[in-house]
Amino acid sequence: MRILSPAKINLHLRIGPLASDGFHPLMSWMCTTGLHDMLEFEPAQDDRIELICDQADIPTDPSNLIIRAAEALRNDAGKRLGARIQLRKKIPMGGGLGGGSSNAATTLLALNQVWQLGLSNARLAELSAKLGSDVPFFFHGSSSVCTGRGQHVIPIAPPAAKYAVLALPPISMPTPAVYRRFDDMKLGSLEAITHQPDWASWIGLPAHQLLPLLLNDLETPSFAISPELGKLRGQLEHILGRIVRMSGSGSTLFTLFDNKTEAIAGTEAVLNSGVIAQAVSLAPMGNYTFMAPNVLEQIADNW
Ligand code: C5P
């Protein structure tokens, strides 16, 4: 079974103060993108869970969330099950694009079928929350508002601005360090996460009206850790003539466009400045949880 595992971006990310569970309550509008990894699953004859990746720098041991997701599902089933999993990796690690989380969600969905366990999506989402704060998002559709640690997910319509340009600097931002710096800088207010924007109006806005409303509270600590990333954001805003935001804890930077032609022109401009960039569609499968195998063909055509 082959499934595409999409990257996400945080269009809007507000963070509250550190809570007693060691995590920060948040409120985020997240969207899947046309950038994806490809995963292939086969049942094994024995109880080995084996991961093979096309890129040598990606760990294939239990530090990879794919293995942890497979083991969590197998433990829940209480059966001796094995699988051979192949990963074709395109989503950069440490980029704030949720690649590892997406791979974990995809693994739960796929092995539930391959192993014929019959768990509901709700149960899989529940299991997934233990693997990471961003994992439950991937069970609920392609454009959603996430609250709590990220485990409360409410789908909303995708944005009218259908395209993003992702700038992918060669900087890996470790999420725990970014949150620690956030705490050191005494950032985070409850007001930021309890006040919900008027999503119904936000989703209908063209890119140039939506961009000034979007915030990411992790930009300040990330740019404090990596001043060159903050500087790059300024340069890209100058080159593109529009607001550029960071996704998650970085280092991916993005901006939005209403149409494909503009997004491709924006990508060329970023590439010409020497930064790796890619134009992607946002929420390419509309309201679908677009990892479902029966929509694979449609996704493959849809960058
Ligand atoms: O859940 P995830 O594995 O993505 O979290 C990585 C780290 O980021 C956590 O160990 C925690 O330090 C921090 N984090 C947080 N609050 C969140 C999400 C993550 O403090 N809502």
pLDDT at 297 exceeding the cut of 60:
no
At 299 the pLDDT is: 47
Closest ligand 1 atom to the C-alpha of 26? Answer: 21
Q: Does 288 score more than 70 pLDDT?
A: no
Pocket mutation for ligand 1, best pick of 24, 147, 218 (most atoms within 8 Å of C-beta): 24
Tens of pLDDT, residues 81-139: 999 999 999 999 889 999 999 999 999 999 999 999 999 988 999 999 999 999 999 99
Residue 302 CA, ligand 1 centroid: distance in Å: 31
> Burial level of 20, CB count in 10 A (0-12/13-18/19+)?
exposed
Q: Is 14 in the pocket of ligand 1 (CB under 6 A)?
A: no
Whether ligand 1 lies within 6 angstroms of the CB of 179 is answered as: yes
Please name the residue ranges forming H helices in 138-210.
175-184, 190-194, 199-202, 207-210
Among protein residues, the one with the nearest Cα to ligand 1's atom 8 is 176
Q: What is the pTM of this model?
A: 0.93
Active site residues: 8, 134
Give 170-204 pLDDT, tens digit per residue: 998 999 999 999 999 999 999 999 989 999 999 99
Report percent pLDDT > 70 for the chain: 94
How open is the CA angle 116-119-123, to the nearest 5 degrees? 155
Mean pLDDT, residues 219-243 taken together = 98
- Section 10-23 average pLDDT: 96
pLDDT at 286: 56
